[in-house]
Amino acid sequence: MGLSRAVSAAEDAINRRSVVYLRRRGWRPRIIGLTGYGSVRSLHVLGRVIMAHPHAEDDDGENGDQAPERPIGPLDVAAEAQRGWRSFFTAQVGFLPVTVRAGGQTLRTTTDRGGYIDVMVRDHGLEPGWHEVQIEAVAAQPVTATVLVVDPNVRTGIVSDIDDTIMVTMLPRMFIAAWNTFVRHTSTRKPVPGMARLYRSLLEGHRDAPIFYLSTGAWNTAPTLRRFMRTHGYPEGPMLLTDWGPTPTGLFRSGIEHKRIQLRNLIITFPEIRWILVGDDGQHDPVIYDELAREHPRHIAAIAIRQLSPTEQVLAHGTPEAIEHPPAMRNATAEHGVPTVQGRDGNALATLLPEVVAERREALSTPR
């Protein structure tokens, strides 16, 4: 714990000096709007403030337009890598006064030590659907951030992992964040076959049903991931990413704990929704999802796990087989009837998942 505190303090000191140095060179705070979400009662508004050159291209947010795909040349790769490098190694502006305007509410707060904005706006008055909220910060140009207000009548939703679930990475896990950040062309990434079509079919007939993309990836990768999803036809939905780096209790944030917290937040925010949880067996998704389903069985419609190939397993964690499975006799399926299906891709899962979701929905709607 002493080492982690020392590293965290050193990071803060370096960042403070970087902000002062960049301000002297004419750089100013820039707000990055991230996609938020909430109910008709409360709304999570997300964003970040970093230092940016006043004439730098503003392409760091999630909600920018997607550039058309075209053949990639050496100059494209170099330019994209340079932009990716800038987005990964940022000077964040911590503890900066911020004002959030959402619907009829105005909320004043400050960024956290990492420059992030994550505020809860209550009684905002926004109707269900997609909206824009305004974020203002001292010495920065105001921006709008997109938020999704989920209809209180919605009863179905999807939570999907990203790497190795919707996107074929074929890279060692330690290199994925750098790849997503520095190599920004969406044509260099391959979607998992059939997964986008599976999600669209699951959401058919469920008007306004939300989909959330949950990952241990860093927020810096959000623009690239958003372009990838749009390019390959994935339904639009908020991303729940995380921040990397030291904390007072560890050198790195826990990806497992991040997923647990975000899943529980979704159940708290949307208590009437039954979730379809989709992940892969390359890391800890099977156990994390099963743990949540055992705790909240009536909130989980089904669990779907993409099975990685032996080669993908080796790249994910070093061995050709999945590293973690729920116990055979102590799992959500055995104890609570929460169905779990597995398949190599979206096409395989599509032969099983819709039917078990329908059966589960019928079982949960039957009076006990």
Whether the predicted pLDDT of 97 surpasses 70: yes
Whether the predicted pLDDT of 305 surpasses 60: yes
Among 37-51, 56-70, 335-349, name the one with the lowest average pLDDT: 56-70
Among 146-155, 176-185, 277-286, name the one with the lowest average pLDDT: 176-185
Dihedral sign (CA 166, 213, 251, 53): positive
pLDDT bucket at 75, cuts 50 / 70 / 90: very low
Residue (of 180, 219, 210) closest to 80 by Cα position: 180
What 3-state DSSP class applies to 85?
helix
155 and 210 Cβ atoms separated by less than 8 Å: no
Give the whole-angstrom CA distance, residue 357 versus residue 338.
10
Residue 46 identity (one-letter amino acid): L
157 and 210 Cβ atoms separated by less than 8 Å: yes
Per-position DSSP letters for 151-179, written without gaps between them: PTT--EEEEE--BTTTEE--S-HHHHHHH
pLDDT bucket at 186, cuts 50 / 70 / 90: low
pLDDT digits (tens, 9 = 90+) for 321-364: 787 789 877 899 999 999 999 999 999 999 999 999 999 988 88
Mean pLDDT of all residues in 122-140: 97
Query: Could you tell me the domains of the chain?
Result: 2-149 (no CATH), 156-365 (3.40.50.1000)
Tokens of 328: 């055979």
Cα–Cα–Cα angle for 84, 87, 91, rounded to 5 degrees: 145
Give the whole-angstrom CA distance, residue 159 versus residue 144.
25
Mean pLDDT of all residues in 45-67: 70
Q: Mean of the per-residue pLDDT values for the chain? A: 84
Alpha carbon 123 to its chain's center:
25
Give the whole-angstrom CA distance, residue 18 versus residue 61.
21
Distances (CA, A) of 266 to 12, 326, 349: 31, 22, 24
Among 68-82, 193-207, 238-252, 291-305, name the one with the lowest average pLDDT: 68-82
pLDDT digits (tens, 9 = 90+) for 82-95: 454 455 567 899 99
Among 14-23, 263-272, 320-329, name the one with the lowest average pLDDT: 320-329
72 and 187 Cβ atoms separated by less than 8 Å: yes
Mean pLDDT of all residues in 268-275: 96
pLDDT bucket at 207, cuts 50 / 70 / 90: confident
- Please give the residue that has the higher pLDDT: either 184 or 320: 320
**pLDDT, position 67:** 39
Tokens of 211: 């989909």
4, 9, 12, 13: CA torsion to nearest 10: -140
Give the neighbor-by-neighbor strand order of the sheet with 143-149. 105-110, 97-102, 129-137, 143-149, 28-38, 42-52, 116-122
Tokens of 34: 């991230």
Tokens of 194: 């059939």
290 membership: H or E segment, kind and range:
helix 285-295
| Residue 326 DSSP code | -
Q: How many CB atoms lie within 10 A of CB 72?
A: 13
**pLDDT, position 90:** 74
Most confident of 67-76, 179-188, 265-274: 265-274
- Of all residues in the chain, the percent with pLDDT exceeding 90 is 58
Whether the predicted pLDDT of 78 surpasses 70: no
Tokens of 12: 């803060």
Tokens of 221: 């990768």
Give the whole-angstrom CA distance, residue 40 versus residue 147.
12
